[in-house]
Structure 1
Amino acid sequence: MLRGLLLCFGLLLPLTAAADPQVWQREWPKTDFSRSLVADWQEIRSGGVPKDGIPALDAPRFVQAAKDRRIKPREPVITLELEGATPRAYPLRYLTWHEIVNDVVAGVPVAVTYCPLCNSAVTFDRRTGAGVLRFGVTGKLRHSDLVMYDRETQSWWQQATGTGIVGRMTGTRLKTLPSWVESWQEFTARNPDGLVMAQPGWNRRYGQNPYVNYDRSDWPFLYDGTPPPHGLAPMERVVRVGSRAWPLARLAREGGIREAGVVLSWRTGQASALDAGTIARGRDIGSVRVRDSQGRDLPHDVMFAFAFHAFWPDGTWMLK
């Protein structure tokens, strides 16, 4: 399956490359490799594509949701509803192939990100002490998670955590904004006048899943870490809120959970983007919303258990 995954991208490159900053310096001459949070450079692997081999999108076009005829009802979209702006949907049929969208919503520069290998969908505020940053894809992975870079300082960033891990911005943490993944029919039912990102102008098989059966795999792609504890399967989905993780299976079984100051809800109707060859035909994994006790949406992520374990090794597992 993984061989087929690579061929979907037309990759003939080796799966691994020397984890040596002196080698990477030729490709990244403006990156300060003397500053890093990475204790072991072997953690960073080549994903098989070069810098910008997966092209991030800048200033995408949007169309009225009611006029879109491409997206199927069960397809997943990342929803962003910021005060002062029309709600926007970023379909995973596009993010699967681009992974990062640099946008401006209600005057806020945002980066809408999606790492298929970790199933991590997180939206960040692009404003930092060094100015507004624009993000791209390094082509590298750490613990199977997307390593982003900013075009202004050429620093590297961990997508799952929003933290600078190499370069001038090392140690800087991006602010996470509330967003969530839901089905297209859920978005349009709640936001009939909403906007949806238009199909990009790249030659990609939009709507197709290049990671067929990935979320049914026994082990993640290019992951050398340890499996999650408590007998959880590495590819089991968990809902991460801060440094806590609730198994999605528990939430689906209970329908709703109220604990640790958060309220989690689940409903059927969303297709997995990492199952069938056509995203719209993926099995139903349901949609999650996370709010505080006042009903306000909270930043969260629905990721694979191995990724939570890798990046929050001391995190709390909310098993029961």
Structure 2
Amino acid sequence: MSTATDQSDGSKPPTADSRLYLDYDIRTLEESIVSGGVPKDGIPAIDDPTFADTPPETLDPDDPVFGVVRDGEAKAYPQYILVHHEIVNDTIAGDSVAITYCPLTGTAQGFERGPTEFGVSGRLVNSNLTMYDRGTDSWWPQMLATAIKGPLTGESLQEFRVIWTTWKRWSSAFPETAVLTEDTGFSRRYGVDPYGQYNETRGYYSSTRTLFEPLQSDGRAHPKAVVIGSRTAVGAIAFDKETLLRQRVLTGRIEDTPYVAVADTALETGYVYANPGSVTVEATDGGYVIDGTTHDADSLPLDRSLAFDAMWFAWAGFYPGSAYVD
């Protein structure tokens, strides 16, 4: 197992060509950093993950997992394990990646990590996990994917989609998936979630209460309502997940650009696309029809925008100017 260290070695995670949109200046975000009640690496990232072809006995069919597919390799990361670690430094299809989860904001996101690893700083911004990279010790609020402290301040990470779904749905769609095991190198009470539970949802995950004051409050939805949000270089948009799964197609705008969200009912997730031509997207039993051709939810002939699940209070706190579609 690799050991976290405060000694940076200068190796950098790969960053994006342009910075993602921020609703605040960097200084304001840095001044909003608060202690999460644990020291740096007090929540230990998993650096040497082990996987199996069969799930742990404690993983129930309706339990949440975070799924990733790269170059045909599928992996599932159970929520009940990640709630104790928040970051998995992994390799998928030969690529060095980090799978990250913040229980306080309900966000699971993937990042390219290159030659370095990510750790848990013990700090929060807007209740959100603030990661640090072990190469430069720059600090990255997970949802923003943009450094707000350290040598890489102002740069954004390269991201990829992580699917929040259930073990039953994921394993049905990807029967050859590998699943993260409890053999993490740490002794933890896996199966006991300190915040509540998702199956059935209760505790912190369903209440209106937050443990930390959000950057902004927004009453357009229940604080813990799940949205599927997307942000670009110029703005942000959030689609109510429950409404999207029910109606299957929702539309909105970031600035002057139309966007469309479509539901994947098999995995109970959704995808967001830029739709500058305002083409009509029609839901049918076989998928989504555009100009007479049927497509799967994850492969419309439009420019897909990276999106992820988030609790509304966290999304609205970071992006108070965000469009909200319900």
Structure-2-length-normalised TM-score:
0.74
Larger fraction in helix? 1
**Of 287-296 and 38-47, the range deviating more from structure 2:** 287-296
8 Å Cα contact 1:100/1:135 also seen in 2: yes
Pairwise mapping of residues 1-320 of structure 1 onto structure 2 (< 5 A)?
A: 37-39=26-28, 41-65=30-54, 68-83=56-71, 85-127=72-114, 132-199=115-182, 200-212=184-196, 213-229=203-219, 231-242=220-231, 243-254=236-247, 256-259=248-251, 260-265=258-263, 267=265, 287-290=268-271, 291-294=298-301, 299-319=306-326
Shift of 1:311: 1.7
What are the superposed Cα offsets for residues 8-67 of structure 1, whole Å, 9 maximum, x if unpaired?
xxxxxxxxxxxxxxxxxxx97979xxxx923265411111100000000113111113x6
In structure 2, give the amino acid aligned to 1:287: E
In structure 1, give the amino acid aligned to 2:194: P
Q: Distance in 2 between matches of 1:28 and 1:251?
A: 43
Q: Distance in 1 between matches of 2:166 and 2:7?
A: 42
8 Å Cα contact 1:251/1:264 also seen in 2: yes
8 Å Cα contact 1:251/1:266 also seen in 2: no
Structure-1-length-normalised TM-score:
0.75
Q: Distance in 2 between matches of 1:258 and 1:292?
A: 16
Match of 2:287 in 1: none
What are the superposed Cα offsets for residues 244-263 of structure 1, whole Å, 9 maximum, x if unpaired?
10112322432x11534444
Could you list the runs of 5+ residues in structure 2 that have no partner in the other structure?
10-24, 197-202, 252-257, 272-297
Q: Distance in 2 between matches of 1:74 and 1:60?
A: 23
Q: Distance in 2 between matches of 1:160 and 1:40?
A: 12
8 Å Cα contact 2:29/2:148 also seen in 1: no
In structure 2, give the amino acid aligned to 1:315: S
Structure 1 residues 40 and 238 mapped into 2: Cα distance closer, same or farther (>3 Å)?
A: closer
Shift of 1:69: 3.1
Structure 1 residues 265 and 48 mapped into 2: Cα distance closer, same or farther (>3 Å)?
A: same
In structure 2, give the amino acid aligned to 1:312: Y
Structure 1 residues 240 and 217 mapped into 2: Cα distance closer, same or farther (>3 Å)?
A: same
Shift of 1:140: 0.7
Shift of 1:292: 4.9
Shift of 1:172: 1.4
In structure 2, give the amino acid aligned to 1:46: S
Q: Distance in 2 between matches of 1:208 and 1:287?
A: 25
8 Å Cα contact 2:244/2:270 also seen in 1: no
Percentage identity across paired residues of the two chains: 32
In structure 1, give the amino acid aligned to 2:309: V
What are the superposed Cα offsets for residues 157-177 of structure 1, whole Å, 9 maximum, x if unpaired?
111121111000111111111
- Indicate the SS of the match to 1:98: coil
Q: Distance in 1 between matches of 2:51 and 2:8?
A: 34
Could you list the runs of 5+ residues in structure 1 that have no partner in the other structure?
1-26, 269-285
8 Å Cα contact 1:245/1:315 also seen in 2: yes
Alpha-carbon RMSD: 2.6
**Of 287-296 and 149-158, the range deviating more from structure 2:** 287-296
